Amino acid sequence: MKFLKIIKEFSKKNPNEVCIIKDKKFLTYGEFWELSLKFAAYLNLKSKKNKIVCIRENDDFYDYIAIIGTLIAGGTYVPINKLMPINKVHNIISRIRPEFFFSNLTFKNNKTWVINSKILKNNIKFKKQKNFKNAYILFTSGTTGEPKGVVISKKALDQYIFWLRNNIKVSKRYNISQIPSIGFDLSLSDIFLSLISGSKLIIPNEEEIIFTGKLIKNKKINHLVCTPSMIDYIQSSGHLNKKVFESVKSIFFCGETLYEKQIFKLFKINKNLKITNAYGPTEATCSMSFVKFNYLNYKKYCNKTVSIGSPNKKMDIKLFDKLKNEKNDRGEIFISGPQLAEGYFKNKKDSKKNFLFVNKKRYYKTGDLAERIKNKLYFIGRIDSQIKSRGFRIELSEINYYLMKYGFNKAHSVFYKKKLISLVEGNYEISKKLINYMNKNLEYYKIPQKIYKIDNFLLNKNGKIDSAKILNQVKNEK
C-alpha cells in the first residue's frame, strides 16, 4: 500500500518524533514502525495465506500496531469495539473465521488463534509475502438485523488516505484526537491522517472519554475529529468554552447531521477555527464528500443544516427517485467511485440489493435523502426516518431542527406506538410558548403529541446518540 511507504520513510528519517501518546506514555515513530514490523513478521511466520486478524479494541498503543502490522503483512484486519457483547464477538468470528484474534483482554475461542502483545517480544525477521486485496472488514451496528461486514479494499483505503492528506491539512506538530472507537469508521480520519502527516495521535483515558473537554484542554488538541453530537455532549458537561478550545485549530465532523446552531456555538468561543463537514457511509470508506468553511463564510453553507459539500476526488453523487430516474433537486443519494466497498462479506443478497449498476456505472444505494439548494447538497435524513402519521408523510429531522432552533441543545424524535414523540435537552422548559412556536413553524400533523425533557442524551462509543437508549427513555416516560 502506498501510504505505508510514507509512514515507513517518515519513521526512518524521524525515528525520535512522538507518534502516539496516552497519559504519560508514548511511542516514537521509530518504535511504532519496528513494533508494527514485528507484528507483521509474526503473522507471516505463522501463515502464508491471507491473514485475517480480528482486533478487539484495547484502548492502547497495540490497537494501532496491530492495524498497521496486519496491513504490512498483506492481510485484512477486522476492528471490534471493546463494548461489543461477547456473543456478537463470537458470532463475527464464526462468520469471518479469522486466523488470528488479537486482544490484551481475556478471551477464549477454539475457532481461531488468540494472540496478544507478548508476540512483539519475539525477534522474528520480517519476510514479505503476498499482498491480499482487502484492507479491512468493518461490521455495521446491525440495528435493523444481523450486522453486515463491509469489505473495503486496500485500493479504496489508499484512495481515501491520500484524499485526507491532500485536503485536511495538519502540521506534524499537531496533536490529533483519537476519540471514535476503532470499530467505527470515523476513526480512519484521525488514525491514518495522523500517521501519514507525522503528527501525534492522542489516545484518551477512561476519564477523558467521559469528559472529552478535559482531553481537548489537557492534551492541547489541535485537530479534533468527532461527530456533531460530541459538541452538545461537551456543552452539557460544562466544557464548551474558550479555555478548553483555545488550542483547537481545526475540526473534522462526520457521522451525523451537522446543524448551524452547533457551528455558531463553536465560532462564538473560537473564531479562528477551520471546520470540515464530511459525509459518507461505511460502504464508501468513511467519508466521500466534504465542505470546508470558517467564521467569515459559514452561513452560505447553512440551510437548516450544514451542507455535506462536494464529492471527494474521483467520487460522484447522484440523486435518484424510486424508479432510478436522476433528479436535480431532491432524491436518494447514490454514490460511485474508487472508495466504494467490495460489498458485504459472504452476503450476496444484500450486496446485490445495495451495490447496483445504473447506466452501466456501479453505485451504492445509501438509503439517505438529500436536496440541492442553490447548487449545494444538504442531507435530509434516512428514508426509513420518514414516517406516516395521521395520513401524512413526515421527516423527523425537520421536527428536530425546529426544536433546536427554538433553543434546545439537542432534539430526537421517534414514532412510537402510533405517537409522534420528541425528547429534548437544554435549559428551556416545555411551555405554551414552545407549543405556539411549533404551531407557527410546522404543519399541525408534524407537531409532536408528546415532548419530554431529559437531562442529557447518552452517546455510544462512537460518539453518536444511542438510539436504543433513546427508545428506552421513551418507553420509561409516563
Please report, to the nearest 10 degrees, the dihedral formed by the alpha carbons of residues 392, 393, 398, 402 taken in order: 10
- Please determine, for residue 468, whether its predicted confidence score (pLDDT) is greater than 80: no
Higher pLDDT, 463 or 305: 305
By C-alpha distance, which of 136, 144, 147, 43 is closest to 89?
A: 147
- Please determine, for residue 390, whether its predicted confidence score (pLDDT) is greater than 70: no
The model carries a pTM of 0.85
- Please determine, for residue 118, whether its predicted confidence score (pLDDT) is greater than 50: yes
CA distance 305 to 291: 13
Q: 392: Cβ–Cβ under 8 A, 6 or more apart, which residues?
A: 443, 445, 446
Three-class SS state of 398: helix
CA distance 448 to 336: 37
pLDDT of 219-251, one tens digit each?
999 999 999 989 988 998 899 999 999 999 999
Task: Write down the pLDDT at residue 463.
Answer: 67
CA distance 456 to 231: 12
Please report, to the nearest 10 degrees, the dihedral formed by the alpha carbons of residues 417, 418, 419, 422 taken in order: 70
All three cell numbers of 279, joined, read 459525509
- Please determine, for residue 457, whether its predicted confidence score (pLDDT) is greater than 80: no
Q: Looking at residues 103-116, what average pLDDT do you find?
A: 82
Number of H helices, E strands in the chain: 15, 28
pLDDT of 289-333, one tens digit each?
999 999 999 999 999 899 999 999 999 999 999 899 999 999 999
Residue 238 CB burial class (10 angstroms; 0-12, 13-18, ≥19): exposed
pLDDT of 244-258, one tens digit each?
999 999 999 998 889
Residue for cell digits 435549559? Answer: 427
- Please determine, for residue 472, whether its predicted confidence score (pLDDT) is greater than 80: no
Higher pLDDT, 131 or 443: 131
pLDDT of 329-358, one tens digit each?
999 999 999 999 999 999 999 999 999 999
Cα angle vertex 177, ends 240, 284, to 5°?
A: 110
Handedness of CA 63, 69, 71, 75 (dihedral sign): negative
- Please determine, for residue 143, whether its predicted confidence score (pLDDT) is greater than 80: no
Q: Would you state the CATH architecture of domain 390-476? A: 2-Layer Sandwich (3.30)
Answer yes or no: are the C-beta atoms of 250 and 274 closer than 8 Å.
Answer: yes
CATH 3.30.300.30 placement within the chain: 390-476
Count, residues in the chain: 478
CA distance 352 to 349: 5
pLDDT of 371-386, one tens digit each?
999 889 999 888 866 6
Task: Write down the pLDDT at residue 477.
Answer: 57
15 residue type, one letter: P
Mean pLDDT of the chain: 90
Of 144-148, 279-283, 436-440, the range with the lowest mean pLDDT is 144-148
Q: Looking at residues 89-114, what average pLDDT do you find?
A: 86
Three-class SS state of 72: helix
- Please determine, for residue 440, whether its predicted confidence score (pLDDT) is greater than 60: yes
pLDDT of 157-180, one tens digit each?
999 999 999 999 999 999 999 999
Band of residue 476 on the pLDDT scale cut at 50, 70, 90: low
Task: Write down the pLDDT at residue 414.
Answer: 83
Cα angle vertex 222, ends 219, 225, to 5°?
A: 95
Answer yes or no: are the C-beta atoms of 319 and 313 closer than 8 Å.
Answer: no
Q: What stretches of 213-288 adopt beta strand conformation (E)? A: 223-226, 250-253, 274-279
Three-class SS state of 210: helix
CATH 3.40.50.12780 placement within the chain: 2-306
pLDDT of 54-99, one tens digit each?
999 988 899 999 999 999 999 999 999 888 878 888 888 999 999 9
CATH value of 2-306 in 3.40.50.12780, 3.40.50.300, 2.40.160.20, 2.60.120.620: 3.40.50.12780
